[in-house]
A and B are shown apart, each in its own frame.
Chain A
Amino acid sequence: MTTRIDRRFAALKAEGRAALVTFTMAGDPDYDTALAIAKALPKAGADVIELGMPFTDPMADGPAIQAAGLRALAAGQNMIKTLKLVREFRVSDNDTPIVLMGYYNPIYIYGVEKFLTDAIAAGVDGLIVVDLPPEEDEELCLPALKAGLNFIRLATPTTDDKRLPAVLNNTSGFVYYVSITGITGAAAPDATKVSAAVDRIKRHTKLPVAVGFGVRSAEQARAIAENADGVVVGSAIVDVLRGSLDKSGKAGSGTVKAVTDLVSALAEGVKSARRVPAK
């Protein structure tokens, strides 16, 4: 069974370039603006859309994404509205993969079975749940795979060769390599080290490998896109969004454009990468 994620990465491979994966928070700064941003992302150059499910206690996120989650919650975002946002996005775009990213508790409280059913019905393709390591696969990973969703696992610099097979087992869609030991939006990754890590993961899997955490500029995106199959940018986009808000924290007239301008630049960076021939 192929998913939108499989098809998108296969198409980009044929094109000979990496994917730009963007992260924005569902409901940030409000539902309508977040939907308008999501709809504008593919045209701006996003190949895969990651949508954050806001949570009060995002323990692996830095200040930018923490604040984005709190803005969304303050504007009344919840899981029902996040799934509705995906459904409304799907009305006009049936190709761009959507991955929901967040923490387990809001899913657990929504109910795992109901969440999977509703997510698939809305048009979600994959899940990234930060606080569900392979040790907790029975909670959501296995039911999600069974239901036909991709479950995308994070591999990190601390995931050694001994542990990597356990992390890759039951992973589908793509592998998300966390380029630094740290929280989102913190240190800048070292492109040489990242490239070596991508090679290491590829020795263990045929899945595409996307790299994220700390990628902020078109130049960094280009460097990583030389070897990785995807580049994930989150905090930088969220920061640009925040910068476009008015004094009361409401969306300004330039909010959507501020986001799409950055995404266009990032997409240019990814497209200009000189791909290293596959080893």
Chain B
Amino acid sequence: MTVQQPNSFRTGPDERGHFGIYGGRFVAETLMPNILQLEAAYTAAKADPGFQKEMDHHLTHFVGRPSPLYFAERLTTKLGGAKIYFKREDLNHTGAHKVNNVTGQIMLAMRMGKKRIIAETGAGMHGVATATLCAKFGLDCIVYMGAVDVERQQPNVLRMKMLGAEVRAVTSGSHTLKDAMNEALRDWVTNVSDTFYCIGTVAGPHPYPAMVRDFQCIIGKETREQMQAAEGRLPDSLVACIGGGSNAMGLFHPFLDDRSVEIYGVEAAGHGIPSGKHAASVAGGRPGVLHGNRTYLLMDADGQITEAHSISAGLDYPGIGPEHSWLNDMGRVKFLSATDDEAVAAFQLCSQLEGIIPALEPAHALARVFDLAPKLPKDHLMVVNMSGRGDKDLASVEAYLASKKK
């Protein structure tokens, strides 16, 4: 089947929040007025140069942007093909790309006069970023986190608590990220007048997917400039891991209309796609409606959402941002996947070759770089989004390797 491609991939969503058939506003009526209010506030903020100026100030002085575009020399030599650069989002304050989006949303919350912030988190990086900005600006912060994730991401739980946030362990459903999002939505329905829901990825009801994307696009914009400065041209390919897909969208979006740039999203294949125990919504799912949007989801034949499986808590979600679903169908982004085994191997190799301990999430992207790069010429410029650092994952990786030895 050939797909009719649009003139531009960067004009979505439409006024009702649709990217093709994806996106939308599938929420309870109680939330609709809030969502419309948020959309209006965001539209006004976007048009206000003062808002952007204030964002830029915090991104420079608090987050520490721009993040470097780093030439991974030993990895490049080892793989013997494409020249590999890392976009070092792991060097941001709080240790991941999540803070870019949170900075924007918290500033918006303050403009809207909302003093109580709620968030969902998987690996805890979004929770930590939200707790951090709430501490900085003196806002109440409640983070919903699946009980399973509270267990496997203890360092981030301790960080959030130290920052003054309340971490609520979620024991409904499968005790992971999707259930944390359900609980956050239930909180929002209950405390709708004073509460701002700070969603951590490019998913949820419109305007979240577009708004979070806009806040994350700083990643791709900087990458363009930095690659121009380093090599005098655009990169040839981009690779990023995808759970909900905010780090990937932030890197990809500014390049979507540069047709020469190949774009790869890497989903978590867990124990392997055929095993059914994975978190690859595009490879192993189909379009459905959950958490406010239509998108690729993992589900059974009856439309019941199935549990995602991944060693990476940040990718352990049975859906994906709606714009990614559309970019997949349009053929603009190629979706690949990497298993737990492959991600852990990449985690170790990157640590030992480059002196950079990656988070398990970008380790999935690295795993595919290992087979993409060697087949490419030496003048091929490849950018991998190093979306977060791996300190939080050391215990998980240690336990995983110990279990493999048995």
Contacts and interface: CB of A to CB of B under 8 A. Distances in A.
B304 A106 contact: yes
Interface string A148-169: 0000011111111001000100
B302 A109 contact: yes
B304 A131 contact: no
B112 interface: no
Contact of B26 (A56, A104, A134, A186): A104
A220 B17 CA distance: 40
A60 B25 contact: no
Contacts of A56: 173, 304-305
Interface stretch (A175-183, A221-229, A247-255, A262-270): A175-183
Main secondary structure of the interface of B (DSSP, over half): mixed
A160 B33 contact: yes
A15 interface: no
Interface string B16-37: 1000000011111111111000
Contacts of B389: none
How many chain B residues sit at the interface, stated as a range, is 35 or more
A25 to B, nearest CB: 14
Contacts of B24: 135-136
B218 interface: no
Given A108-B289, A178-B30, A66 B172 contact: yes
Contacts of B299: 105, 109
B195 to A, nearest CB: 10
Contacts of B289: 103-105, 108, 131
B283 interface: no
Contact of B302 (A78, A103, A104, A131): A78
Contacts of A59: 28, 182, 185-186, 189, 291
A75 to B, nearest CB: 13
Q: Residue among A103, A109, A155 with the most chain B CB within 10 A?
A: A109
A106 B182 CA distance: 17
Interface in B1-25: 16, 24-25
B193 interface: yes
How many chain A residues sit at the interface, stated as a range, is 35 or more
Interface string A103-125: 11111111000000000000000
B189 A105 contact: no
A131 B190 CA distance: 16
B303 interface: yes
Interface string A220-240: 000000000000000000000
Interface in A179-224: 181-183, 186
Contacts of B276: none
Nearest to B28: A60
A178 B302 contact: no
A264 to B, nearest CB: 31
Given A78-B302, A105-B299, A181 B30 contact: yes
B256 interface: no
Contacts of A135: 16, 24-25, 32
B288 interface: yes
A161 to B, nearest CB: 12
Given A60-B30, A131-B292, A158-B31, 20 more contacts: A57-B173, A58-B182, A60-B189, A66-B172, A79-B303, A106-B302, A106-B303, A106-B304, A108-B288, A131-B26, A131-B289, A133-B26, A133-B27, A133-B28, A154-B29, A157-B30, A158-B32, A159-B32, A163-B32, A167-B29
18 contacts: A56-B304, A57-B179, A57-B291, A59-B291, A60-B185, A103-B289, A105-B290, A106-B304, A108-B289, A110-B302, A133-B29, A135-B32, A136-B26, A155-B29, A159-B32, A178-B30, A181-B189, A183-B186
Interface of A: 54-60, 62-63, 66, 73, 78-79, 103-110, 130-136, 153-160, 163, 167, 178, 181-183, 186
